[in-house]
Amino acid sequence: DSGVTQTPKHLITATGQRVTLRCSPRSGDLSVYWYQQSLDQGLQFLIQYYNGEERAKGNILERFSAQQFPDLHSELNLSSLELGDSALYFCASSVEGGQGISGNTIYFGEGSWLTVV
């Protein structure tokens, strides 16, 4: 158990719908990362937050958005869903997200399986 909690574990929804995935980081971790894993694209970095602020953005679609709340939990919102959005979405967390700090390790949750039908 990594200490990163994601809900829901499984979700089935129709095209055009909107869903929210939730992540609680490990106690004390300030940084939250979101990744998408699909068979054809592999592990794709979506976005990183550090202490409530966006730190880095990867291959995140405009239909997707995220935020990190004052209690440090994070939500990933996926809207206007398409069949191709079906994937495993991972949240990960780490203590630091700042410059110049080496050895920072990220810990992954077990993921949220999204199936769009």
- Footprint of other proteins (CB under 8 A): 2, 4, 31, 33, 42-43, 45, 48, 50, 55-56, 90, 92, 94, 96-111
Q: Closest distance between other proteins and the C-beta of residue 77, in Å?
A: 21
Verify cis geometry, omega within 30 degrees of 0, for the bond prior to 25: no
DSSP codes, 9-69: SEEEE-TT--EEEEEEPPTT--EEEEEEEETTTEEEEEEEEETTEEEEE-S--TTEEEEE-
Residue placing its CB nearer to other proteins in the complex, 52 or 107: 107
Residue placing its CB nearer to other proteins in the complex, 9 or 63: 9
Residue placing its CB nearer to other proteins in the complex, 15 or 56: 56
Q: Closest distance between other proteins and the C-beta of residue 92, in Å?
A: 8
Q: Closest distance between other proteins and the C-beta of residue 71, in Å?
A: 22
Q: Closest distance between other proteins and the C-beta of residue 15, in Å?
A: 26
Residue placing its CB nearer to other proteins in the complex, 17 or 41: 41
Cβ density class 19-55: b for 16+ within 10 Å, e for less: bebebbbbeebbbbbbbbeeeeeeeebbbbbbeeeeb
